């Protein structure tokens, strides 16, 4: 695996921060890193600020990165992240691994489970 292009699924959580830290050796060698957050329409400004902070952190580690804020749609979040990775030509998706109750996943879906089922490329998840 070359991990030349990487997509990072960001959520302001401990797991996402761990994933960034754990993936740093890959991120520093990549030619392009896209950090994406999926949020509600009223959270777009806050999400942009968060992603600017993440991008600044990565740039201090010599990571060539950009960021992308997306508003929730009817498409499952995992599907959006997989589609973004395909459009970016990514060969790695980095994200936190989150655990929810079975009832919670049944009601709201699960990003982690969705990625494990749908991603046609490598995943690096930290929990």
CA dihedral defined by 7, 72, 11, 121, rounded to 10 degrees?
-30
The pLDDT score that the predictor gives to residue 102 is 56
Contact (CB, 8 A) for 80 and 47: no
Q: What is the pLDDT of residues 86-95, one digit of tens each?
A: 999 999 999 9
pTM comes to 0.86
Residue by residue, DSSP assigns 14-57 as HHHHHHHHHHHHHHHH-SEEEEEEEE-GGGHHHHHHHHHHHHHH
pLDDT in tens, 3-42: 899 999 999 999 999 999 999 999 999 999 999 999 999 9
Count Cα atoms within 13 angstroms, Cβ side, for 3: 17
The arithmetic mean of pLDDT across residues 41-66, rounded, is 96
Confidence bin at 75 (pLDDT 50/70/90) = confident
Q: Facing residues of 87 across strands?
A: none
Q: What is the pLDDT of residue 124?
A: 87
**3-state SS, residue 7:** strand
69-73, 85-89, 96-100: least confidently modelled range: 96-100
Gap between the Cα atoms of 97 and 86, Å rounded: 20
Query: Chain-wide mean pLDDT for the chain?
Result: 87
């Amino acid at each position: 695996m070359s991990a030349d292009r990487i997509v990072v699924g960001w959520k302001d959580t401990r797991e996402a921060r761990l994933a960034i830290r754990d993936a740093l050796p890959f991120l520093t060698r990549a030619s392009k890193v896209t950090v994406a957050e999926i949020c509600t329409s009223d959270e777009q400004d806050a999400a942009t600020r968060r992603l600017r902070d993440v991008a600044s952190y990565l740039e201090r580690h010599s990571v060539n990165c950009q960021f992308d804020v997306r508003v929730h749609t009817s498409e499952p979040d995992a599907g959006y992240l997989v589609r973004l990775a395909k459009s970016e030509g990514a060969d790695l998706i980095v994200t936190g691994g989150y655990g929810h109750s079975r009832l919670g996943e049944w009601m709201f879906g699960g990003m982690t489970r969705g990625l494990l089922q749908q991603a046609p490329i490598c995943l690096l998840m930290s929990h």
